[in-house]
Structure 1
Amino acid sequence: MSLLALPEAVATRSLGVVSALTALVMAAATWRYRGDLEAERPAALVRFANGRLRSPESLRFTVYRSRDTAHPRKRHRRILVSETERLCYVGHNFGSGVMRCNSLCRYFVGVLDKDSGQMEVYNAEMFNMQPLLSDNLIPDDTKDYQKKSYREKVDLCIEAFGTSKQKRALSSRHMNAVGNDIVSTAVTKAAANIIDAKGVTALMQDVAQDDVQTISTFLPPCHEDADRPEHVYKFEDILSPTEYEALRVPAAALASATAEDIAKKAEERSHCSFVLEELKFLPADEKSRDHKARCLWFLDTLIKFSHLKVIKKKHPMGPECPHIISRKLMKNFTSLTYNNGSVQNLVSASMKAKITAYVILLALHINNFQTDLTVLQNDMKLQESRILDIAKALRLKISKAKGGLGLENDQNHKLGTLSLPLPMQKAPAGQRKRKKIN
């Protein structure tokens, strides 16, 4: 019996292999292709990277195969280990150090029986055996390993057996951890220097002013030079003519609501308290009645939309909501976020502040530019300080009133009024209270 190893180019077809084998064996010999020696396990051809061995016949090899047999790529991964008196050798058929010839060529092993002239041909794979060098290799000492955390043990496994992508992610995470420590130290030192130089009082004033500016970025355009309150925040900036026209059909039910219908809606709590109260005072004029009904329907939709968190449905407000209104809500009042491999629409805190501003302005247009902020606060489930901050950012004058709109008579109501000239912007009340506490 004798062994024969044959490389085959990628482009070579089966007939080319037959010709190559036939040329290397005796004319009378016959051969048979057997595939793998074992199931999905070709023969191993090894070469040693550091020279020629003195006694190759004394070597013994151990093969480690991937346990993930279901994965189409991982199930063929193998590690070949051999040990001599002086060195330990390791070779593998995957990873960055794998020989390129395995992807460019195919290898075969032929076992020839000279007596019968029969040759058995098997698949083969080339392994490049590298010496494993370690100055502190103590196999039996596992005390340090046992002291490591689960995360550290996983990182060691990734370093030894992970894919290139996993190793890059591990390296990036280690670099980020170092970078975060450096940044944290630098930020702490910079913050201490700023506090020493500027003082706590001045910093609190800056934070208060920044809060006002942050809210202002989500407000509709403000025309400070307007000569009438209705021109300060134009209705067209809240609802475009096309969007306003789309509200005609869904708002028709509100415009035609009777006293019995309103009582039923109040019992079912199908609308917010602000809308239910305003439905009792719809104008008799058909055009004015329709206009107010459209504004109330959109205001009620905005309040319901503000109670959502993550938008999972294509039409979150139901099929009765016009498509152009649904698109306006998704485009103007949600933030895009990436979660679990998909992009989601989120009603964030900043978006809820924007919705609150639009609700207040709609209520002002409905109520002749004076509205009860306490009712809107309860409908939108906000803190009083939050809605007052937004109202002051809208340049409203805040005053107190008693009772009304189905709430307790002893509850102080805050009224917001849009009048000219516009008051100057001031720091939010909540920030000023924290300043007094400090």
Structure 2
Amino acid sequence: MAAVRASWLHSGEQSEGHPALLAQFSNGKLQTTETVDFALYKHKDDGHPRKKHQRILTAETDRLAYVGSNFGTGALKCNTLCRYFFGILNKDSGQMEVVRAEQFNMQPVFPGDPTNSITEDKVEKTYRDKVDSLIEAFGTNKQKRALNARKMNQVGSETLSKAVTKAAENIIETKGIAALVKDAAQNELQDASLFLPPCHADAEKPEEVYKFDDLISPAEYAALETPSAPFRNITSEDIKTMLENKSYGSYVLEELQSMPMDEKSCNHKARCLWFLDTLIKFSFQKVIKRKHVFGPECPHLISGKLMKHFSVLSYNNGRLQNIMSASMKAKITAHVIALALHINDFQTDLTVLQRDMKLSENRMLEVARAMGLKISKKKAPLGALDDEDHKMATLTIPLIPYQPPGGPRKRKKMT
């Protein structure tokens, strides 16, 4: 079946006089237009160069009335800075008619509100309003741009503030304070779980909280046999060469020095270390090139997983590309910690991982706390080059409740 190609059809100069109207409501989204009556009013002075384009759009529902205009303080500045177009696709002919569009910010109007009956001429202007009027009439282009920028950054009108306050009061009366606090805490947990591995908080054993199959699937585990072969047959000379070349991080090198003698355990640890090292190296990428980013030894199944689950697809310079965002780096950090817990009997050195991943200590601890881990300190052994205390993470049952940063702080007692 031949593909149908669509073409654009501009409506011509007539769209300049009759643009399409796009209405956005300041206090919510419009679900249906069947119960809303719209009306458009235009200025009767068609000869005036400015007033002839002034429009007022009204919308009436069973509960509220809304008003929006393309002039005055309540108008959207984007109408003067940008040009918008609206497309209507004819599925039969395959043509899309493109017309000029104009946006209106619909503000609610409350009957009996004394602020609605006061006209702009009757309001006594403040000193700031008078200066703004002088700038609009006689100011330089730089002053006018600064004035427009300040008005765009201003908070919404008093009417909108009252509408939001009333809506908040209605929600509090309906759901109650306790329910709202519970919902807010649940939302924080959901936000934190976006970059965490699947967590089974009600598990009875530490190995069942962050299951190994959720980190590395059985098919991926089988694909890791070939690339992890050098780790299984590692020698002291190989480790010495790795230290000199600095081709691996401190965590991987330390674990390679204590590989198990049992063949099955050695094979398992080699696969985990190779995948963990690949995750860390992948987190250093900024713009990820699809070709040869992982090297020829990386299985296609593993490279596909990294590209799909640990990178963000972005559009730049006319093409799609994968990039490493801050949220994806946090996701990789959480998976690295979870994998290190399985390798080290559910207790791992966060300081070593933090330095290998080139993260700040606060960032690493924040991810570990979001995973519900217990944080403790461990003194460096005597004679070690690093004499700083290391942060250790331990997975205990039950998990420690996560408290997002920025919460209430304890007051220090005055002595």
Q: What TM-score do the two structures reach when normalised by structure 2?
A: 0.57
Report whether the alignment pairs 1:258 with 2:228: no
Q: What is the aligned partner in structure 2 of residue 305 from structure 1?
A: 282
2:258 corresponds, among 281, 286, 294, to: 281
SS of the aligned residue for 2:379 comes to strand
Report whether the alignment pairs 1:330 with 2:301: no
SS of the aligned residue for 1:224 comes to coil
Report whether the alignment pairs 1:185 with 2:156: yes
Q: What is the aligned partner in structure 2 of residue 230 from structure 1?
A: 207
Structure 1: how far apart are the matches of 2:317 and 2:162? 36
Report whether the alignment pairs 1:397 with 2:313: no
Query: How far off its partner does 1:215 sit?
Result: 2.1
Structure 2: how far apart are the matches of 1:405 and 1:338? 52
CA contact (8 A) 2:86 2:101 kept: no
C-alpha spacing 1:209/1:307, structure 2 compared with 1 (3 Å):
farther
Higher gyration radius (CA): 1
- 1:96 counterpart letter in structure 2: G
Structure 1: how far apart are the matches of 2:187 and 2:411? 18
Q: What is the aligned partner in structure 1 of residue 406 from structure 2?
A: 431
SS of the aligned residue for 2:389 comes to strand
**Aligned ranges for residues 108-147 of structure 1 at < 5 Å?**
none
Report whether the alignment pairs 1:366 with 2:329: no
- 2:205 counterpart letter in structure 1: R
- 2:307 counterpart letter in structure 1: M
Q: What is the aligned partner in structure 2 of residue 381 from structure 1?
A: 358
SS of the aligned residue for 1:403 comes to coil
CA contact (8 A) 1:95 1:164 kept: no
C-alpha spacing 1:268/1:169, structure 2 compared with 1 (3 Å):
farther
CA contact (8 A) 1:306 1:347 kept: yes
- 2:348 counterpart letter in structure 1: T
Structure 2: how far apart are the matches of 1:352 and 1:210? 21
Q: What is the aligned partner in structure 2 of residue 71 from structure 1?
A: none
Structure 2: how far apart are the matches of 1:375 and 1:285? 26
Q: What is the aligned partner in structure 1 of residue 222 from structure 2?
A: 245
C-alpha deviations, 1:386-416, integer Å up to 9, x for none? 2212112212111110126997543121111
C-alpha spacing 1:206/1:403, structure 2 compared with 1 (3 Å):
farther
- 2:403 counterpart letter in structure 1: A
2:388 corresponds, among 411, 421, 425, to: 411
RCO comparison, higher one (Cα < 8 Å, 6+): 1
Q: What is the aligned partner in structure 1 of residue 12 from structure 2?
A: 96
1:350 corresponds, among 327, 333, 336, to: 327
Alignment: residue pair count: 281
Pairwise CA RMSD: 4.4
Q: What is the aligned partner in structure 2 of residue 317 from structure 1?
A: 294
SS of the aligned residue for 2:279 comes to helix
Query: How far off its partner does 1:251 sit?
Result: 0.5
Structure 2: how far apart are the matches of 1:431 and 1:205? 18
C-alpha spacing 1:263/1:405, structure 2 compared with 1 (3 Å):
farther
C-alpha spacing 1:312/1:300, structure 2 compared with 1 (3 Å):
same
C-alpha deviations, 1:47-82, integer Å up to 9, x for none? xxxxxxxxxxxxxxxxxxxxxxxxxxxxxxxxxxxx
Query: How far off its partner does 1:253 sit?
Result: 0.7
Query: How far off its partner does 1:338 sit?
Result: 1.9
Report whether the alignment pairs 1:217 with 2:222: no
CA contact (8 A) 1:337 1:345 kept: yes
CA contact (8 A) 2:312 2:322 kept: yes
C-alpha deviations, 1:237-261, integer Å up to 9, x for none? 1111110011111100111111111
Report whether the alignment pairs 1:272 with 2:249: yes
C-alpha spacing 1:257/1:171, structure 2 compared with 1 (3 Å):
same
Query: How far off its partner does 1:280 sit?
Result: 0.4
Query: How far off its partner does 1:97 sit?
Result: 5.1
Structure 1: how far apart are the matches of 2:240 and 2:318? 46
Structure 2: runs of 5+ lacking an equivalent: 1-9, 15-45, 50-79, 88-97, 106-147, 173-179
C-alpha spacing 1:220/1:164, structure 2 compared with 1 (3 Å):
closer
Structure 1: how far apart are the matches of 2:361 and 2:407? 15
Query: How far off its partner does 1:172 sit?
Result: 6.2
Structure 1: runs of 5+ lacking an equivalent: 1-93, 99-132, 137-154
Structure 1: how far apart are the matches of 2:184 and 2:382? 36
Structure 2: how far apart are the matches of 1:191 and 1:360? 46
Structure 1: how far apart are the matches of 2:247 and 2:383? 16
CA contact (8 A) 1:251 1:294 kept: yes
Q: What is the aligned partner in structure 2 of residue 52 from structure 1?
A: none
**Aligned ranges for residues 47-126 of structure 1 at < 5 Å?**
96=12
